[in-house]
Amino acid sequence: MSSTKCPVTDCPGAPYIPRMDETASAYKEGFISRTKSARENSTLTQREMAEALQIDQGKYKQYEIRTPLPHRFVKPFCINARIKLDWLFTHDPRSNRPSRKTRKPRQPKGKGNSVHA
């Protein structure tokens, strides 16, 4: 798979593999729609998300209407909206399930659980 310029986020070096039944325009619309949906499901207001991203609320509003999130905001957006990056890009419902890595680590059984200095 080669890295190219993503037609949606305009990010150089980003791998982009469009679905066979999807145009770049349809993908862009879906990405913007998922951005709004993720923020609403997180119960954050546009103002709160804008503050978390350290941008003006009016600028953030455009990311839910007509302009995809710039690359630099994608990771902090996903963290604040509590979604996985893959879901934002693909809308694959399986990609938003908690991974095993996010589960609480198990404590070993038995004696000697304390840490020695």
Superfamily of domain 1-94 in the CATH hierarchy: lambda repressor-like DNA-binding domains (1.10.260.40)
Exposure string over 9-47, b if 16+ CB within 10 A, otherwise e:
bebeeeebeeeeeeeeeebbebbbebbebbbeebebebe
Question: Is 6's pLDDT higher than 50?
Answer: yes
Rg over alpha carbons for the chain, rounded to the nearest Å, is: 18
Query: Domain boundaries in the chain?
Result: 1-94
Q: Quick one: pLDDT at residue 100?
A: 44
Question: Is 107's pLDDT higher than 80?
Answer: no
Which residues 6+ apart lie within 8 Å of 22 measured at CB?
30
